[in-house]
A and B are shown apart, each in its own frame.
Chain A
Amino acid sequence: DTAVSQTPKYLVTQMGNDKSIKCEQNLGHDTMYWYKQDSKKFLKIMFSYNNKELIINETVPNRFSPKSPDKAHLNLHINSLELGDSAVYFCASSQDGWDSRQFFGPGTRLTVL
């Protein structure tokens, strides 16, 4: 069973479109995250939710809106896609606690044309 899954794996779309990426974890974790990995492989946190509540919201354009319908799911909706949004987006989850490791999904490669 996959611990953290994301759909779709690949997403190719035109500038200006709206798209969503879904994430689900079956580990029973309370905290979920979205990261963006750019073309240079730099990894930056975007959002974090704990028990469906937003706890980390980095400087991300408000075209990006996370939604957590329950603590096992954290979806990312992106409006008015731009070329610079092209990246690999990773979902992750962890148990509560400062010492908890994160479990990462396989990533969604978004290409904006």
Chain B
Amino acid sequence: AQSVAQPEDQVNVAEGNPLTVKCTYSVSGNPYLFWYVQYPNRGLQFLLKYITGDNLVKGSYGFEAEFNKSQTSFHLKKPSALVSDSALYFCAVRGNTNAGKSTFGDGTTLTVKP
């Protein structure tokens, strides 16, 4: 069975500081990894994905994520946080052996303070 863990319910950072939102996964076969963001009262929006190739993936709004196969991690990062980055972030994994089902983590609430 595939699974995703987001070990932190909440991450607080000051505006301008770097941020990291952690994600680890478990899946059979090659992992397809995604990050989505959810602003209040909105649907999820895609940020970035890792399929193959470069371990550092760049996405929307200045976010990037680093795939680490040995640690089975896919942490989301941004060099300089903005107050407007405050939202709920979901990591998701999809295996190629499970009818395309995506499993989402429990989400991490990011709060960026001015």
Chain A positions within 8 Å of B, measured between CB atoms, are 4, 31, 40-45, 48, 50, 55-56, 90, 92, 98-99, 101-107
The interface residues of chain A, by DSSP majority, are classed as strand
Interface string of B88-114 (1 = CB under 8 A from A): 101000111001111110110000000
Evaluate whether A99 and B99 lie within 8 angstroms (CB atoms) in the complex, with A105-B43, A106-B43, A107-B43 already known: no
Evaluate whether A31 and B100 lie within 8 angstroms (CB atoms) in the complex, with A4-B43, A99-B51, A107-B43 already known: yes
- Measured in the bound complex, the distance between the Cα atoms of B102 and A92 in whole Å is 12
Q: Which of A42, A45, A98 contacts B96 (CB 8 A)?
A: A98
Closest residue of chain A to B41 (Cβ to Cβ) is A107
Evaluate whether A45 and B102 lie within 8 angstroms (CB atoms) in the complex, with A98-B32, A99-B51, A101-B49 already known: yes
**Are B99 and A104 neighbours in the complex by a CB distance under 8 Å?**
no
Closest residue of chain A to B33 (Cβ to Cβ) is A99
**Are B43 and A48 neighbours in the complex by a CB distance under 8 Å?**
no
Instruction: Tell me the count of chain B residues lying within 8 A, CB to CB, of chain A.
Output: 25
Q: Which of B44, B99, B106 contacts A56 (CB 8 A)?
A: B99
- A41: B residues at CB distance < 8 A: 38, 88, 106-107
Q: How far is the CB of A3 from chain B (nearest CB, A)?
A: 10
Q: Which of A42, A43, A104 contacts B45 (CB 8 A)?
A: A104
Q: How far is the CB of A74 from chain B (nearest CB, A)?
A: 15
Interface string of B11-36 (1 = CB under 8 A from A): 00000000000000000000010101
Could you jot down 6 A-B contacts, CB within 8 Å? A48-B100, A55-B100, A98-B100, A99-B51, A104-B43, A105-B43
